[in-house]
Amino acid sequence: MSGIDTADQEKRAEFYNRLTPHNLAPLWEVLKDIVPPEPRSKAQTTHWRYDDMRPLLLESGALLTAEEAERRVLVLENPAFSGQSRTTATLYAGLQLILPGETAPAHRHTPSALRFVIEGEYGFTAVGGERTTMRAGDLVITPAWAWHDHGNEGDGPVIWLDGLDIPILGFFESVFMEPYNDSRHATTRPEGDALARYGAGLAPIDGASPYGLTSPIFNYPYRRTRDSLLQIAKAGDPDPHMAYTLRYTNPLDGGWVTPTMATWMTHLPSGFSTTAMRSTDGMVAHVVEGEGSIEIDGARIDFAAKDTIAIPGWTWRSLTASSDVFLFFFSDRVIHEKLGFHREERRA
């Protein structure tokens, strides 16, 4: 109220007080805050070091079983959203642990989910009647409202990064789940069926995804992804902003793999640095291999393999690789694009 004399300030304050019992409020007092000149993320840049998290996750394995917990997960909670199970403003991420011989019971839920495997070679997940073996670096999709369970038939722990759109569905008050009547869902198709039908540049002639808007492929093997990135690196110089980047796609329409979360993998050769860019989507970055640093709005974070970083929307980011680096990203970009407000800026 700068420039307004005391008498006018008092009149306005008295008027505003009379609005409150009617559940009214003056827009002109808050307009610049609710429609600012540029995006303002409430999320904070946050770095979770795997060397710090892994011992705590394993300790949780001694405290309760996977069946007791239903999902034994340590939530990567952004300090800006304490107690809200948010990693960014719109995304949930956590580290899930399955010990040898355990089963995380079957259920289904309205949020879409992704699993990015960090360690372990004999874990599995079953989605909609098909089981898939989970290996380090694999991206495994759990479509909304698809029955799924997880297990570990190996001798060591299996750990993966969970990513879900829970905060997005929470905004619409549409988060709910249903338990299955057994710990594991019945298997009705052989392992590899989805990849054979949809993942070799082929598709059923009258095919549609059994999961609606979500990709019919639910395991994107890291071996294929990594080999593809290394192959395109032989064909030319890296993009100054994106290095070598490929996005995971729905083979039926070429779109993102889920209707709410975009996913991609970036490869930076040793010694390469990207030029700064920013975009409206908030994202989670997971270091698959290598060491390097990321600068976010001028603050540098040094990372190592298996670390995870929350990157708020509309913050300037650039990457530097100390060794060959592979980074997995997921973000809410797909929603921004569908609703028409996605924006991106790249420095020259």
- 190 and 170 share one domain: yes
For the chain, the domain total comes to 2
CA atoms of 199 and 251, how far apart (whole Å)? 7
Same domain, 11 and 123: no
**Cβ burial 80-92 (10 Å sphere, 16+ → b, else e):** bbeeebbbbbbbb
Backbone angles phi, psi at 228, to 5 degrees: -65, -40
Do 111 and 196 belong together in one domain?
Answer: yes
- pTM for the whole structure: 0.95
Are both 8 and 131 inside the same structural domain?
no
Q: Which ranges in 199-265 belong to alpha helices (H)?
A: 222-233
146 and 94 in a single domain? The answer is: yes
Clarify whether residues 20 and 160 are in a common domain: no
**In terms of C-beta density within 10 A (0-12 exposed, 13-18 middle, 19 or more buried), how is residue 153 classed?**
middle
**170 and 117 in a common domain:** yes
Looking at residue 28, the DSSP 8-state letter turns out to be: G
What is the chain's pLDDT, residue by residue, as a tens digit (348 residues)? 457 889 999 999 999 999 999 999 999 999 999 999 999 999 999 999 999 999 999 999 999 988 888 899 999 999 999 999 999 999 999 999 999 999 999 999 999 999 999 999 899 999 989 999 999 999 999 999 999 999 999 999 999 999 999 999 999 999 999 999 888 888 899 999 999 999 998 899 887 898 999 999 999 999 999 999 999 999 999 999 999 999 999 999 999 999 999 999 999 999 999 999 999 999 999 999 999 999 999 999 999 999 999 999 999 999 999 999 999 999 999 999 999 999 999 999
CATH of the domain at 168: 2.60.120.10
Do 156 and 33 belong to one domain? no
Q: Are residues 87 and 214 in the same domain?
A: yes
The β-bridge partners of 325 are: 268
Range of the domain at 135: 46-346
Burial zone of 190 (CB within 10 Å; 0-12 exposed, 13-18 middle, 19+ buried): exposed
Check: CB of residue 214 under 8 Å from CB of residue 108.
no
Same domain, 186 and 281: yes
Q: Which residues contact 169 (CB under 8 A, 6 or more apart)?
A: 110, 111, 175
**Residues 11 and 107 occupy one common structural domain:** no
Q: Which among 143, 339, 342, 145 has a CA at the least distance from the CA of 250?
A: 143
Do 20 and 110 sit in the same domain of this protein? Answer: no
